[in-house]
Structure 1
Amino acid sequence: MTFRGILSSLVVTYYYVWLLMGLAYRRKCLRIERRLRNRERRMENLNELIRETDRKCISELRMDRRTFFILCEMLRDVGGLKATRNMTIEEIVAHFLYTLAHHLKNRTIGRFFFRSGETVSRQFNLCLLAVLKLQHLLLKTPEPIPENSTDNTWKNFKNCLGALDGTAIKNNPDAKGLYGVSFPYYDELSMVYSKDMATGEGAEDMTDAVQNLEEELVRVNANDEEDGEDMTSVETPRRSVDSTSSSSKKRKKEWKGKKTSSSDPLLDVFNEVSGDLKVATMSIGKMAQAMDREASNQEKARDEDPQQKLREKAINEVRRLEFTGSEVIKAAGVFVRMPDQMGMLFALPEPLRREYIVDMLRDEAARRERERSK
């Protein structure tokens, strides 16, 4: 391979490398543009909910703006709710209240706030845990009515039988009792319809709920880390809207190893492009070295070929005998077609070599005439 061929290959390789780099950069720019556009629309929706008017805030979150920000402070100071790198406390609480107020699903909340379903689910559980820690402030403890109560609405019903006067109670003395009669699925139905399931034995109180939720969040976040900016398009349908998909966790774990400390997405793109360019340059350098080795090997093999050396020696001998350029070309064609002619040429003495070449060219011309006549 000649130097011009190697140079052409390098130019074509560089062209395709830069073309691929340009396409990758354009794709990254489109992804960043979509991310910035989603962030802008998310902030517009959030500001419309909690900062424009009390009427809008009450309609969507079931409380006015002052109450909303007081709740955010309580959840932060007492409940221990913390903002993340990509979400403020106000947005987390707005997600939580919007879900409860309208009884919406994970996918709907994600589309409205331009967040992934995984982020919505995680932040909802964290906000729920913080709300449960405010039970002593938000829930009023019921107080029994004292015996010496002077409330006019209560004293008239004190020591009264809980039945209305004149109520008829049906009586059937011949009815068969239920003693010894089997009751199928009694245990299963008692778990559903029993009166004391909310407050009786085995019921989960607030303290148990907080502890269980904390343990669940610890298990979920054991091998999980807060993701970066949500890259999932809001138009992409999710197979399960109430649970975290395993595929997104795998993608996030793969992306976690590639994450940089920079918070500027454009700078991240330039860093990635420069890294890819370095890798491409190293690859092209290796290709050039391989091409150089191949060219040198071909030249070495050509120099070591005895037949090639004999051809060059025969051509130089024909030129030394002062033949014309056309005669040299015809003699070279004969040498390629009949290599034995070169050995015979150098076997003859030097005074006879010119006559031998003349006879060879004459025989070659006669052969061509015979081919034309046929």
Structure 2
Amino acid sequence: MRTPSSDGRWLLVVELFALSALANAYLIAPASVLPVVMSELAIGAAAASWIVSVVFGIQILATVPVGFGLDRYDTRRFAAAATLAIVAAGVWGVASAATGAYYSLVASRVLGGLGSLVFWNAGVSVLGRSFDDRRRATAIGVFTAGAPTGFALAQFLGPRIAESFEWTLTLGVFGVCTIVPFAAFWASSRGLDVAVGSTTRPPKLADVSLLFENRVFWAVFVMGMATFSLYSFLNSWLPTYLTEHLGATLATSGLAVSLFPAMGVFARSGGGFLSDRVFGSRRRPVTMLSFLVPVPVVVAMTHTSTVAVVFVLVVLSGFFIQLAVGLLFTYVRELVRPSVATTAVAALTGASSLGSFIAPIAAGVLIERTGSYLPAFLLAALVGFVGLATAYVTPEPTAVGTPAAD
């Protein structure tokens, strides 16, 4: 086994970024053509929403077992299996949609969701082992920017693929394309020590038990859930809020909302850079900033009726909410034993998925019962405040002490 060179490390970042982008494009692609999907399959909004949301639901259930496996076994083989799964899911989904087989399509999305989950956890794991403390947050931050890049790619190309070719292709084309960056990753990672499982002894169930008794781990867990709750709430309800409450056109609200995830391309990379270069590898200043700004911004959204002002607030919230996304996955690795680092990353992924799953539903219940958006936005601000308080009391990894090697 050999250690990757400096150029080799950044090549891994590029390859894993591309894998993540295409996997996330696959996840969100049905949303870009959802009206067509509903019409062609003759299904309602609730049934259509499951085509998108089922991938996140399966990730909540499978994330810790996947992380435990990545800590014990060869990461390259896991990535190969994930690529096979997401390619198969893409082909399966296209075939199911073409024959109008709704339940088969949903089942294919479960398989694809598992594949994308492995890509995410494997990427964080490999890059976490490839870079030292001075560059780790920057590298993982760049990698996590693949998710919003994939979302933007699918939202932009999905309707065009449907118009120019066949709408069913939208459901699978991005998954099939993961073959290209995976092939590059497979070639460049051959023989690298960072591309296998944990370099220490394989974790035991007792190690995982100790992980879940770690109070600092739970603090990062809370911050991850709070971050993705805010992200999911605004992504889900801003379009309706802008059209119904402010009277914006669908085109205007669509433009405003597209800016929100797009800011993640800069924020997720920038958060790691700020932590590594500006704050001397300290994590707390960035995590605190990621909540300190969004709390008043979310409240301010309910106190303006000017669309131009809302655009500014969307850009601010989109940037700062996503500022610590990549950093949190670095942070959690540095707080736990090396043998369970990927398991910790996977658990944080589960927290993120849980926040993404719950927040839009809770907001919808509040809006429906009160007839107002204000309680939902205030609840979002409260979630942000909880995240800020947690960030304030969570120590730096150096204060906790470097976990002993196993």
Larger radius of gyration: 1
| TM-score, shorter chain, exceeding 0.5 | no
**Shorter-normalised TM range:** under 0.3
So what's the TM-score if we normalise by structure 2? 0.22
Structure having greater relative contact order (Cα 8 Å, sep ≥ 6)? 2
Q: Which has the higher helix share?
A: 2
